[in-house]
């Protein structure tokens, strides 16, 4: 059948779908089914540095056990694949350990913006940051329903400090990189989490 005949019979061919639209909607459906509030986001403008997100989503909150909701007031812009890992980590580690160790519900987590088009340490020519692909967040503070606010940089009490150590150690099992606070200029006051693969096999983890 020639193209002309095809068009006469069926109308013009539908425009090709954007490459990752399908992947985004499948992942987003999974994210939302797991209790997250998230929406598809426009892809950041392509840049010379090679920044970009495969399946961009904005993550607003995560439902945890008991129907409670942990909100993410910074609504980070993330690759959906990373958002799934982050949502599970919050649901299975951050919220239940808060309940167990501090007897408090985690109400909100300040994560920073997620996506940031930059190289590591903003050095020209350096490797591109995991933030530039939407594969990272930086935990700055955790707010609890009882009005306590844990600053990652400087947890106030002994209980808060051991809670933070516990969620940080557990993070090493969920993410490929866990750094800070104090790792570098960008992570002086926060904990960086990403799922970028390291090493030739991709199995190497950085957990400092």
> Which residue carries 């606070």 as its tokens?
181
What is the smallest separation between the CB atom of 131 and Zn ion, expressed in angstroms? Answer: 6
Cβ distance to Zn ion smaller for residue 30 or 118: 118
What is the smallest separation between the CB atom of 126 and Zn ion, expressed in angstroms? Answer: 14
Instruction: State how far the Cα of 106 lies from the Cα of 127, in Å rounded to an integer.
Output: 35
Cβ distance to Zn ion smaller for residue 28 or 135: 135
Cβ distance to Zn ion smaller for residue 103 or 198: 198
- Please check whether residue 47 is in contact with residue 23, taking contact to mean a CB–CB distance below 8 angstroms: no
- Please check whether residue 117 is in contact with residue 73, taking contact to mean a CB–CB distance below 8 angstroms: no
Please, what sign has the CA dihedral across residues 133, 26, 37, 148? negative
What is the smallest separation between the CB atom of 195 and Zn ion, expressed in angstroms? Answer: 12
> Which residue carries 């329903």 as its tokens?
145
For the chain, report the end-to-end CA distance as a whole number of angstroms: 62
**In this chain, which residue has its C-beta nearest to Zn ion?**
192
Cβ distance to Zn ion smaller for residue 56 or 64: 56
Which parts of this chain interact with Zn ion (CB under 5 A)? 136, 138, 192
What is the smallest separation between the CB atom of 171 and Zn ion, expressed in angstroms? Answer: 13
């Amino acid at each position: 059948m020639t193209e002309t005949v095809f068009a006469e019979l069926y109308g013009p061919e539908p425009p090709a779908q954007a490459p990752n639209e399908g992947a985004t909607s499948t992942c987003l459906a999974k994210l939302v089914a797991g209790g997250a509030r998230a929406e598809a986001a426009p892809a950041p403008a392509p840049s010379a540095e090679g920044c970009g997100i495969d399946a961009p989503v904005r993550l607003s909150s995560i439902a945890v056990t008991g129907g409670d909701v942990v909100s993410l007031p910074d609504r980070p812009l993330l690759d959906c694949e990373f958002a799934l890992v982050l949502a599970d980590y919050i649901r299975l580690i951050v919220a239940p350990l808060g309940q167990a160790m501090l007897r408090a519900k985690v109400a909100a987590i300040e994560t920073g913006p997620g996506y940031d088009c930059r190289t590591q340490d903003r050095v020209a020519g350096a490797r591109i940051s995991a933030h530039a692909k939407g594969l990272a967040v930086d935990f700055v503070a955790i707010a609890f329903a009882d009005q306590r606010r844990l600053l990652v940089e400087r947890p106030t009490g002994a209980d808060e400090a051991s809670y933070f150590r516990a969620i940080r150690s557990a993070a090493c099992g969920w993410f490929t990189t866990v750094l800070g606070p104090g790792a570098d200029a960008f992570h002086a006051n926060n904990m960086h989490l990403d799922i970028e693969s390291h090493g030739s096999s991709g199995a190497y983890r950085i957990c400092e």
